[in-house]
Chain A
Amino acid sequence: MKISNTLTKSAFLLVILFSVTLSLVTQTVNAGNKHLKFNYADCPDHKTKLAGLTLNNDKNAAGDRIKNTWIKNFQTIVKNGSNKLKIIDLNKENTSTTFQYLSVVQVKSLKALIKTESENPAFATFIPVIILQKVMSEAEESLGSKINWLLIIVVILLIMVIFLVISILSRISDIQGKPAINWNSLNSKFSLAFILLGMLAVVWEFGAHSKLTVFNEGPASEHGINYDNMFMITLGLTGIVFIITQGLLFWYGYKYKSDGKRKALYYPDNHKVEFWWTIIPAVVLTVLVIKGLLTWTQMTNHSNKEARRIEIFGYQFNWATRYSGADNKLGSHDFRQVGKINNLGIDTNDSKAYDDVIVVNELHLEVNKPVLLAFRAKDVIHSAYMPHFRVQMNVVPGLPTYFSFTPTVTTAQMRTKMDKPNFDYILLCNKICGAAHYNMKMKVVVDTKAEYEKYMSAQTPLVANKVSKPKAVVLK
């Protein structure tokens, strides 16, 4: 029981240690100001609805006035109830998304800011708290704290019981003069059981879970067919090696356990065997390398001049697309102009940009039409990942990257194929980029030619009057 006492003591000590050492730190008004500036840098569309979005211009007196107005407006919105909150909800992606993902420390600093700025401090505290509660309300499910503590206690008790058994066993073996459990023979049986049950589990898992993977419905792009071939060849070869080597390992563990009579075979070397088991893997890998190189070269070939150029612009935490318009040329850009109204930093002097179309958070592709995606990032490295098309490319600030491919299955066809009427292709961020990394996604729609043209004609080019008819945006 000595052990259990020490265990309980140490567990309590640990918990106390953790809770004591982590404490809140008071936040300054400046920190709150900073967070607002960063998190509301780029929402030009909603100026009229929420004046606070222009908080960036807080250097002059006008900015200060606007800031005050915004805070008051915000308070009114919150005060008037949930009806008005819908404005925020509707534009969540662009406006208050980042509020959701602020840490509690940051929210505190915002509170401090609002408190100083507000005329009526009583209202001030409502704002962040209410928004935060909205987020929390999504997490309705809850386990009572008692159950959690109970679980921990149960685990601790369980471990104590294990130790009691172990100590009893060792007492028995001390008395008997030989081990109470013959682990040698037990382990050899366990080895056999493990490999048999383990292989069954692997087979079951392949049956149950491979249909959840993107390989189940097949690729939605032209190069994806080669990709899937390459994958299946690798799967076959490695699968054979996996079964043989794992099987032998645990079979030997079973078969060659010491029985106290046999002597092991003194067998330090066999050059012939070693030669073959070096050469065979080398040959198999050569096959994989050659096949892999061919696939890789094909997948990284971006020289198709016919491809439609589309720019994917990544920023914390969303995607924007820029279609090149009728001239199939993307206007140049300058990072110094990013922000404010010109969210993507497009060079306004470049006439090639006039017919470009910018859409936030949705990408339309035309089926069987090659497309060249050009990637650009505003702040940190993102990665544009489209698993159904077998496409992924990092999106790096200051370093242009490309990926060209041809989608072959429309969204509608894929929905029928998968029998999921709500299915949508996605482009998701696959490089850690900040708190809302996990929510940085974009819907991808593969249209037929007619649908695509219809969609594009409904979009407004950057400089509308430069192009007489909206339809002219989509030539070819």
Chain B
Amino acid sequence: MSDHILHAEHVDHAEHDHDDHEHPKESFISKYIFSMDHKMISRQFLITGIIMGTIGMAMSLIFRLQLAFPNMRFSFLEGILGHWAKDGKLDPNFYLALITIHGTIMVFFVLTAGLSGTFSNLLIPLQIGARDMASPFLNMLSYWFFFMSSCVLLFSLFVKDGPASAGWTVYPPLSALPSAIPGSGMGMTLWLVSMILFIGSALLGGINYIATVLNMRTKGMKMTRLPLTIWAFLMTAVLGLLSFPVLLGGSLLLVFDRSFGTSFYLSEIVAEFAGGIERTGGSPILFQHLFWFLGHPEVYIILLPALGITSEVIATNSRKPIFGYRAMIASILAIAILSFIVWGHHMFITGMNPFLGSVFMLGTLIIAVPSAVKTFNYLATMWQGNLKLTPAMMFAIGLVSFFISGGLTGIYLGNAALDINLHDTYFVVAHFHLVMGSAAIFGMMSGIYHWYPKLFGRMMNETAGQIHFWLTFIAAYCVFFPMHFMGLAGVPRRYYANTAYDQFNVFVDMNQFITIAALIGGAAQIIFLVNFFYSMHKGKRSVQNPWKSNTLEWTAPVEHYHGNWLGEIPHVYRWPYDYSKPGAEHDFIPQNIPDEGQTDPMQEPHVAEVERRVKVDPVVA
């Protein structure tokens, strides 16, 4: 480690002494492509994630058109999709391919790599006070595995029989047998290759994040002085490290079933249907166990970083310490641990032993307790605050709102009995798009608006950001809230059209409304994209600490140096949430400001002040 720091400092000096162009270490390739600087890798993750997200969103708009107007022809679709939309009519097989790839892209490529990859890379070294990651080389590999994985997945869109179409959960036998659905041919093979590369990326990244957080904190940065973002990223990495290998194993067995004639997941399938070899003795449910053993922690791999970012953004912009810092850490830990014993709630109706179902139900509903604690703590942080309603703050508030709405419907679905009639309906679609999709995307957006000055040294346009927020926020609710009612009427997800069902035809209007809302939401993202890429070069230059924040990344210079700080790494003397501290000159005290006589911030004598203010405030008193 010390070698690395020396090396980094050497580079810093070199940069100052010589012109950039003459220095061999700063060639275009080493600076922008095979960069080992965590800040550059973070940008690479972010931009790749944004591109993947745009593709995933465009796909959702296409199948939303189909769902809203099942009898209409959109001739422009033929121009885009060719034979998959002959005469402007979406092919049912391609519809399934679209929902599959949409799910895969959003869950893995945007909300796992795009979110965790971007902000773990950017913030871990900067917020704990390190020059770079523990292993910059592994970090670079992690990005390039992710990049290859993205390329393979996008390439699979162009194979003859179409990309994987068995749903993003790729349950065999549907995903194992090309005779079951065309997408399970070459497309599925590429999906698996892509996923295996992706897991490689996630593991390389995860090891690095954990090693960095545990070993490379600057002097004075105790674990109890870490910002909640870092706690969230740390637990995310631990979750990924423990669960992704299981999916890797599961995927490899699926590769064997598909390509080498084994029957891990296949049972009682005649030879004619299974590529000429009779398959029996395996269990299709085994795959579901392996998949959801990753799949459920994956939900929290997505959500925890978003919650960590929100904690930081809400505290900074409320100008208040985060309420219940230790309770927040405890709830992160509780959620992380519990997330490993609840995967079975995705499988209540697979015919599992009812007793096993009861156990999974118990675990699932217990998770609601730490989640509720987090929500209450956010509310308490905003209470009596001095809110700066920046775009980042608005997105953080939006996240809390989605987290409540989607979290509450989780109490229905986690209940094994209620799940019987709600499983795989639009109720589920509404639930996870709110709590995992929208909430995590809003966390990511909040992070982008908040740390854009750190990423690119410039500010994003605020007005565009606010318009982006309100359009996206309202559109997301308009899209997902009505879906609950479709689910309660028994409309199944992944249906190409509902026209064959009398009792579902009443939802035609609702489907059209949802699609129009989705199109507006999609258009709002164009505002974001333009703002994002335009501000990169044309935005206003940022000051060093634009949000008057306490954490260490704002003590680093606006310009990027490989090594982050030009001089010595700042030391840490206090926790990161000393906002509006009584007696202090400003309403923020950065972590590197010495404070000799500081006691535990939790125990300080602020009680009298609190009591006085509580009496004044009629809302809570």
Contact = CB atoms under 8 A, between A and B. Distances in A.
Residue of B376, B474, B602 with most chain A CB atoms under a 10 A cut-off: B376
B429 to A, nearest CB: 12
Q: Which of A181, A230, A278, A400 has the most CB of B within 10 A?
A: A278
Interface in A155-201: 155, 158-159, 162-163, 166, 169-170, 179-181, 183-184, 186-188, 190-191, 194, 198
B506 A380 contact: no
Contacts of A273: 380
Interface string A408-438: 0000000000001011101011111111111
Interface in B55-105: 69-76, 79-84, 86-89, 91-94, 96
Interface in A127-175: 136, 138-145, 148-149, 152, 155, 158-159, 162-163, 166, 169-170
Contact of A101 (B71, B92, B366): B92
Contacts of B412: 231, 234, 238
A198 B418 contact: no
A166 B463 contact: yes
Nearest to B581: A266
A361 to B, nearest CB: 13
Contacts of B79: 15, 18-19
Interface stretch (A62-70, A290-298, A363-371): A290-298
Interface in A269-313: 269-270, 273-274, 277-278, 281-282, 285, 288-289, 292-293, 295-297, 299-301
Interface string B373-396: 101111110111111111000100
A282 B510 CA distance: 36
Interface in A346-393: 375, 378-381, 383, 385, 387-388, 390-393
Given A25-B160, A213-B485, A256-B382, A238 B408 contact: yes
Contact of A397 (B167, B173, B350): B173
A103 to B, nearest CB: 5
B350 A396 contact: yes
A436 B92 contact: yes
Contact of B481 (A187, A205, A316, A390): A205
Given A18-B81, A103-B94, A159-B526, A292 B267 contact: no
A116 interface: no
A202 interface: yes
Assign chain A's interface to a size class: 35 or more
Interface in B500-525: 500-503, 506-507, 510, 519, 523
Contacts of A385: 424, 490, 492
A246 interface: yes
A433 B162 CA distance: 16
Given A163-B527, A180-B463, 18 more contacts: A7-B530, A22-B83, A136-B89, A139-B87, A142-B73, A143-B74, A186-B466, A256-B383, A266-B582, A273-B380, A274-B327, A278-B369, A288-B411, A338-B270, A426-B503, A428-B501, A433-B174, A438-B498
A252 B182 contact: no
B534 interface: yes
Interface string B326-368: 1100000000000000000000011100100110011001101
A339 B272 contact: yes
A158 B342 CA distance: 46
A215 interface: yes
A341 interface: no
Contact of B461 (A105, A136, A170, A213): A170
A285 to B, nearest CB: 5
A163 B470 contact: no
Contacts of A378: 273
Contacts of A139: 70-73, 87, 89
A228 B502 CA distance: 23
